[in-house]
Chains A and B, each alone.
Chain A
């Protein structure tokens, strides 16, 4: 049934590609026009299904990168040996059609209604994608909820949405840590996210913050455990795992 954004059965439908934009050498954003799209929440994802000429089918989930109310956009990282992401990042063109279903998910979402609760977003690599939706949503609705994004990337050229994250709007804060390579004179953090770094940049647990952690599985396990060690209740740490290399 059309018009049911959260409930109701999911059906595959055809979406048209309206724009593709490179973000980094291995990442690009794909804008879609989805007939009858009933809207989505910040943090939701959708499934993509590719069918080969011989009938072989591959399905993958991708976080929605755009805010509720904006055209649906995905940001996809090309994974070596991936079945789906090389096609999406290298072959897909404006005007092409792909099969999608969504929006999906009700756990890893942020509606922005609670302005009193500080929100900590912790991204590993392309785990930043759902947070771009949340930050844009926050700016669009004029939310004053304190939001801080801690983004772990290998190097500065690997940072997705770099220009946009320089001005996230509305006083949202973006803090980087670069794990492998830092530019000359880098004044930001280096090395992986651990309890020491989180202790320095995360909202104190006494402020009853809500945390979202998204990235590769090993990243999410380390960060969520560190937040719990800092006094965050486990149920206040929402997690979404992308798996490891080769999942795409």
Chain B
């Protein structure tokens, strides 16, 4: 049987989608930074994280365990950046 659909999309994006926001806040390209989840220890580039933009602000979750890594909420000129779910955020990433 030929399958014609790839299945439902739930609006999940990835870290590429917040490249502009992160560069605005950190002043440099951050999607290649290495992030380590404080909950499960999984390490990956920011580009690979799950990202949701439909919440108030941007929510970044671990691709391995789905724990919240970061929440970024902006109101007018102020950005509230909560990185509590990250054990480490290394930029430039450690060379592999």
Q: Measuring CB to CB, which residues of chain A are less than 8 angstroms from any residue of chain B?
A: 6-10, 45-47, 59, 61, 101-102, 104-108, 124, 179-180, 190-192, 194, 216-219, 222, 235, 238-247
Task: Flag B2-18 by CB within 8 Å of A: 1 or 0 each.
Answer: 11111111111111110
Nearest-neighbour CB distance to chain A for B54, whole angstroms, equals 9
User: Are B14 and A6 neighbours in the complex by a CB distance under 8 Å?
Assistant: no
Known: A104-B19, A241-B12. Is A222-B7 also a contact (CB below 8 A)? yes
Q: State whether the Cβ of B59 lies closer than 8 Å to any Cβ in chain A.
A: no
User: Are A106 and B32 neighbours in the complex by a CB distance under 8 Å?
Assistant: yes
Report how far A246 CA is from B15 CA in the complex, Å: 19
Cβ of B32: which chain A residues have Cβ within 8 Å of it? 106-107
User: Are A243 and B12 neighbours in the complex by a CB distance under 8 Å?
Assistant: yes
Report how far A13 CA is from B29 CA in the complex, Å: 18
Q: State whether the Cβ of B28 lies closer than 8 Å to any Cβ in chain A.
A: yes
User: Are B47 and A107 neighbours in the complex by a CB distance under 8 Å?
Assistant: yes
Cβ of B47: which chain A residues have Cβ within 8 Å of it? 105, 107-108, 238-240
Task: Flag B26-53 by CB within 8 Å of A: 1 or 0 each.
Answer: 0111011000000000000111100000
Nearest-neighbour CB distance to chain A for B73, whole angstroms, equals 14
Q: Measuring CB to CB, which residues of chain B are less than 8 angstroms from any residue of chain A?
A: 2-17, 19-20, 23-24, 27-29, 31-32, 45-48, 96
A-B pair count, CB < 8 Å, reads 102
Cβ of A216: which chain B residues have Cβ within 8 Å of it? 6, 9
Cβ of B31: which chain A residues have Cβ within 8 Å of it? 105-107
User: Are A10 and B45 neighbours in the complex by a CB distance under 8 Å?
Assistant: no
Report how far A106 CA is from B28 CA in the complex, Å: 10
In the complex, what residue of chain A is closest to B14 when comparing beta carbons? Answer: A241
In the complex, what residue of chain A is closest to B10 when comparing beta carbons? Answer: A244
Nearest-neighbour CB distance to chain A for B18, whole angstroms, equals 9
User: Are A192 and B3 neighbours in the complex by a CB distance under 8 Å?
Assistant: yes
Other A-B pairs beyond A105-B19, A190-B2, 13, CB < 8 Å: A7-B29, A8-B27, A9-B23, A10-B24, A101-B20, A106-B32, A179-B4, A192-B5, A194-B3, A217-B9, A217-B12, A241-B12, A243-B12
Cβ of A247: which chain B residues have Cβ within 8 Å of it? 11, 13
Report how far A64 CA is from B7 CA in the complex, Å: 27
Report how far A8 CA is from B20 CA in the complex, Å: 11
Report how far A14 CA is from B22 CA in the complex, Å: 21
Cβ of A194: which chain B residues have Cβ within 8 Å of it? 3
Nearest-neighbour CB distance to chain B for A150, whole angstroms, equals 14
A240's partner among B3, B9, B16 (CB-CB below 8 A) is B16
Cβ of B28: which chain A residues have Cβ within 8 Å of it? 7-8
Known: A9-B24, A9-B27. Is A108-B16 also a contact (CB below 8 A)? yes
User: Are B6 and A219 neighbours in the complex by a CB distance under 8 Å?
Assistant: yes
Report how far A107 CA is from B15 CA in the complex, Å: 10
User: Are B24 and A222 neighbours in the complex by a CB distance under 8 Å?
Assistant: no
Q: Which 8 A-B pairs have the closest CB atoms?
A: A244-B9, A107-B47, A191-B2, A104-B19, A47-B20, A218-B7, A218-B6, A106-B29
A104's partner among B9, B23, B48 (CB-CB below 8 A) is B23
Return 18 A-B CB contacts under 8 Å, by A number. A8-B27, A10-B20, A59-B20, A104-B19, A104-B29, A105-B47, A106-B29, A107-B16, A179-B3, A192-B4, A217-B13, A219-B6, A235-B96, A239-B14, A241-B16, A242-B13, A244-B8, A247-B11
